[in-house]
């Protein structure tokens, strides 16, 4: 039996429009035209560059499954728009009671005597479509072009208000949503606190998309609002019930990150927020002792803001308070995809716990 007879793909390759510093995504439909239950597992030749969800699963007879492939943002244009990366899909017939949680690498291991059928899809770069030329409004005779936001003396506030309607969905009208396993997730907002320019187009981008795939109502500063109006982000923290604080090596370079953390600590102490610390490619113990680059960056920031001792003290207290929570840790050798999954699962557990506790009140 060939792979095509088990699963068919709606694409023979995976095409990503290339836009620098912007993630790309492509969806695939895997169709099972047989009367068998078919398990699959996806692999990439560059695990740090691509994020595949779901990367394992079971496709029911005569049905299909959608798979999303996310490519990390490129910082420079590839030479001749060429790419040598590939995605490998392994598949085999399994018993009807098999679920996605039962699918392991061992099931597809040739060495273990479990050969699987394989399909390789090549990754291709394409030029993004050009947008139509903009038509300026209000240029008819006797009228003037519409005033821009910058014409307003209070541009900062106006800009934030305009962005509120443009951001990726932040809130849901529904009280809850159901994930693929039938678990009801309360639609409390989840706030992500991180060092923007370091992680926005890589790890955090993967995490946000993974959360949204799991129907988690997540907010992140996707358009760098910190330099515009920090109060806007404080309001988003107040509206959240869960926050994920992602500590990275350069986190303590940012006074904005630390100010957000202070606000999170205040909400946490009032019982209004649960904070989940994440140590990204860091040793958690070293961070808690302010050692290494993490500690050096904090001391440099302290020197820069030495005229504001009370603010510095609040930063340190917020760090110590959040560090006391049970966190998740990765290092340079960690599988980033699995680490993202572990964060998503932890957030789901917290959301379900909050929902359960509130229903019991």
Looking at the annotation, which residues are catalytic?
260
Helix/strand/coil for 119: strand
Intra-chain end-to-end CA distance of the chain, in Å: 57
CB 216 within 8 A of CB 344: yes
Euclidean distance between CA atoms 96 and 110, whole angstroms: 22
Q: Which helix (H) or strand (E) holds 235?
A: helix 230-238
Gyration radius (Cα) of the chain, Å: 23
Backbone angles phi, psi at 356, to 5 degrees: -65, -45
Nearest to 259 by CA among 285, 291, 279, 231: 231
How many CB atoms are closer than 10 A to CB 335?
A: 12
Nearest to 183 by CA among 352, 56, 58, 347: 352
**360: preceding bond cis by omega (within 30 degrees):** no
User: How far is the CA of 86 from the CAs of 39, 45, 58, in angstroms?
Assistant: 20, 6, 22
Nearest to 199 by CA among 249, 160, 265, 259: 249
Euclidean distance between CA atoms 165 and 158, whole angstroms: 12
β-bridge mates for residue 126, sequence order: 17
Indicate the burial class of 234 (C-beta count within 10 angstroms; 0-12, 13-18, 19 or more).
middle
- 203-213 vs 336-360: helix axis angle to the nearest 10? 50
């Amino acid at each position: 039996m060939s792979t095509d007879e088990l699963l068919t793909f709606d694409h023979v390759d995976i095409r990503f429009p290339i836009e620098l510093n912007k993630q790309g995504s492509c969806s695939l439909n895997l169709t099972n035209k047989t009367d068998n239950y078919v398990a699959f597992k996806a692999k990439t030749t560059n695990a740090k560059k691509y994020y595949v969800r779901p990367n394992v699963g079971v496709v029911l007879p005569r049905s299909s499954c959608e798979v999303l492939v996310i490519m990390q943002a490129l910082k420079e244009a590839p030479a001749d728009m060429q790419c040598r990366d590939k995605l490998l899909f392994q598949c085999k017939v399994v018993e009807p009671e098999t679920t996605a949680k039962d699918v392991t690498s061992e099931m597809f291991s040739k060495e273990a005597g479990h050969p699987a059928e394989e399909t390789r899809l090549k990754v291709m770069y394409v030029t993004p479509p050009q947008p139509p030329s903009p038509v300026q409004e209000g240029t008819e005779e006797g009228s003037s072009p519409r005033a821009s936001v910058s014409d307003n003396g209070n541009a900062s506030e106006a800009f934030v208000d305009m962005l509120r309607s443009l951001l990726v969905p932040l809130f849901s009208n529904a009280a809850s949503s159901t994930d693929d396993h039938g678990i009801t997730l309360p639609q409390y907002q989840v706030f992500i606190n991180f060092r923007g320019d370091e992680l926005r187009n890589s790890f955090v981008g993967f995490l946000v998309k993974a959360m949204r795939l799991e129907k988690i109502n997540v907010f992140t500063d996707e358009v760098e609002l910190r330099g515009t109006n920090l109060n806007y982000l404080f309001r988003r923290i107040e509206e959240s019930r869960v926050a994920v604080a992602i500590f990275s090596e350069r986190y303590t370079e940012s006074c904005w990150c630390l100010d957000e953390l202070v606000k999170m600590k205040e909400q946490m102490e009032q019982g209004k927020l649960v904070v989940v610390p994440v140590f990204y490619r860091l040793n958690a113990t070293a961070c808690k002792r302010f050692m290494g680059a993490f500690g050096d960056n904090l001391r440099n920031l302290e020197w820069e803001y030495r005229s504001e001792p009370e603010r510095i003290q609040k930063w340190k207290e917020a760090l110590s308070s959040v560090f006391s929570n049970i966190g998740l840790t990765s290092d340079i050798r960690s599988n980033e995809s699995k680490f993202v999954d572990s964060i998503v699962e932890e957030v789901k557990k917290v959301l379900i716990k909050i929902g359960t506790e509130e229903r019991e009140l």
